A = this chain, B = another copy of it.
Amino acid sequence: MQAEIITIGDEILIGQILDTNSKWIAEELNKIGISVYQISSIQDDRQHILKAIKEAQANADIVIITGGLGPTKDDITKLTLAEYFNDTLVLNEEIVAHIEQLFAKINYPFTEVNRNQALVPSTCIPLKNEFGTAPGMWFFQKNKVVVSLPGVPYEMIGLMTQSVLPKLQTTYKLPFILHKTIITYGMGESMLAEKIEDWEINLPSFVKLAYLPSFGTVRLRLSAKGATYEMLEVAIASEIEKLAELINEIIVGFDENETIEMVIGQLLIEKGQTLAVAESCTGGNIAKRITSVPGASRYFIGGIVAYNKMIKIEELQVDEKTIAENSIVSAQVAEAMAKGIQQKYHSDYAIATTGNAGPTTDDTDKTVGTVFIAIATPTTIFSEEFFFGKPREKVIGRATNKALELLRKEILKN
């Protein structure tokens, strides 16, 4: 079964927006056994849209279109789809009611422009958009599917997850594909590749491996395609067992959608323990990651973003002499910060960061990219020095991941 993805929007063609939707859709389609033949980004232009759908349908059974469904004038996708299917737009009262409800909730006036969003081609099945006003549209003709989705990523993801992927699975008989992701923290991609080279070479031919690196973490994805689900499960489990023997200490989890902050949350809930953070160079990013997990209030007490030196001294009880003698970016300051927040917030664990995210060294004596991370546990405090390069975004991202990695290891020890 083959699919094509079409992304509509001039903003991609002028290079203003990075198309992350296609990657997400391609990944999800592959997971359910649908391969992607081509991804095309095209203009918000009637003729171009008509041509692209026609070409895509020549190669693929399934065409997924994103973008061009907003309420404004530059969005002509819906009209063009009606034209392509020789159809007319009709007002869908269910969608009107849904949009009215959304607007009533946020106390916004419901305008004629919004009402137009409830117009859909008569032959499509409208797909309810939980997170926005533009509905998705499902066309099914001659055993071929065309789906049109809004370009806003979380709206597209909501519609794909809730409607499109399940509907594709019931519409077509798809082969069995099993994916399993191994989340690793703390080893770079090339070193990891060397370490597991023999294992990788000896994988059975129906099992494929992909490396997915991000800010110092690597997800390994195994994909197996075959006749029965059971056979795939056995094969993948056996390969993961062999892999775990090689890199057990860096494996953080196995659920693809699981993040290290979720793993930490689960561990803390199980142990009935709590966490607080004191951040300098990461500037709130660690707290942000931890609180991105629903229910984080059960174990996360809170944090201090100690950007100014005075906050480190007055709020975290870092001794002024410690700063003067060791530099504000130092192991001693990181550990004092961790101890300070742990005591102040009465938490079992604490994370602290101090470093230089760049681009300038400001008033510190350390090179850009240098970060000290300290972890306080119920029994000990320690810190490590890291060099995360540049740019600023990478330093903050990698420092955050490393801090969470160190914390997880400590919680597991206790």
Residue of B nearest to A14 (CB): B30
Known: A108-B188, A111-B194, A305-B284. A131 touches B362 (CB 8 A): no
Stretch at the interface among A164-172, A238-246, A383-391: A383-391
Q: Which of B36, B288, B360, B394 contacts A288 (CB 8 A)?
A: B288
Q: Which of B72, B256, B301 contacts A193 (CB 8 A)?
A: B72
Q: Is A63 an interface residue (CB 8 A)?
A: no
A213: chain B residues within 8 A (beta carbon): 70, 152
- In A126-155, which residues have CB < 8 Å from any B CB? 130-131, 133, 152, 154
A interface residues, how many (CB within 8 angstroms) = 112
Greatest chain B CB density within 10 A among A189, A208, A307, A358 is at: A307
Known: A179-B14, A191-B108. A304 touches B307 (CB 8 A): no
- In A1-32, which residues have CB < 8 Å from any B CB? 10-20, 22-30
A13: chain B residues within 8 A (beta carbon): 26, 35-39
A372: chain B residues within 8 A (beta carbon): none
Please tell me if the beta carbons of A292 and B18 are within 8 angstroms of each other in the complex: no
A305-322 interface bits toward B, Cβ cutoff 8 Å, 1 = contact, 0 = none? 111101100010000000
Q: Is A413 an interface residue (CB 8 A)?
A: no
A190: chain B residues within 8 A (beta carbon): 70-72, 111, 113-114, 133
Q: Is A273 an interface residue (CB 8 A)?
A: no
Please tell me if the beta carbons of A221 and B41 are within 8 angstroms of each other in the complex: no
Please tell me if the beta carbons of A18 and B20 are within 8 angstroms of each other in the complex: yes
Copies in the complex: 2
Q: Is A302 an interface residue (CB 8 A)?
A: yes
Residue of B nearest to A158 (CB): B391
A215-246 interface bits toward B, Cβ cutoff 8 Å, 1 = contact, 0 = none? 00000010100000000000000000000000
Known: A15-B30, A27-B14. A70 touches B308 (CB 8 A): no
A23: chain B residues within 8 A (beta carbon): 12, 15, 17-19
A179: chain B residues within 8 A (beta carbon): 14, 16
Residue of B nearest to A316 (CB): B302
Docked pose: A389 CA to B108 CA in angstroms: 13
A265-290 interface bits toward B, Cβ cutoff 8 Å, 1 = contact, 0 = none? 00000000000010100011111101
Q: Is A258 an interface residue (CB 8 A)?
A: no
Greatest chain B CB density within 10 A among A48, A221, A287, A389 is at: A287
Known: A22-B41, A36-B14, A179-B14. A292 touches B301 (CB 8 A): no
Docked pose: A277 CA to B212 CA in angstroms: 35
Please tell me if the beta carbons of A287 and B305 are within 8 angstroms of each other in the complex: yes
Q: Which of B16, B20, B73, B191 contacts A111 (CB 8 A)?
A: B191
Please tell me if the beta carbons of B308 and A301 are within 8 angstroms of each other in the complex: yes
Q: How far is the CB of A351 from chain B (nearest CB, A)?
A: 12
A72: chain B residues within 8 A (beta carbon): 189-190, 193, 211
Please tell me if the beta carbons of A304 and B303 are within 8 angstroms of each other in the complex: yes
Residue of B nearest to A3 (CB): B13
A17: chain B residues within 8 A (beta carbon): 23, 212
Q: Which of B26, B130, B208, B277 contacts A12 (CB 8 A)?
A: B26
Stretch at the interface among A79-87, A99-107, A403-411: A99-107
- List 6 interface pairs A-B (beta carbons < 8 Å), by A numbering: A14-B36, A16-B256, A39-B41, A73-B200, A131-B394, A284-B285
Interface pairs A-B: 4 shortest CB-CB: A283-B291, A15-B27, A284-B287, A15-B26
By a beta-carbon cutoff of 8 Å, the part of chain A in contact with chain B is 10-20, 22-30, 35-43, 48, 52, 55, 70-74, 102, 105-109, 111, 113-114, 130-131, 133, 152, 154, 158, 179, 188-191, 193-194, 200, 208-213, 221, 223, 256, 277, 279, 283-288, 290-292, 294-297, 300-308, 310-311, 315, 344-345, 358-360, 362, 369, 387-394, 396
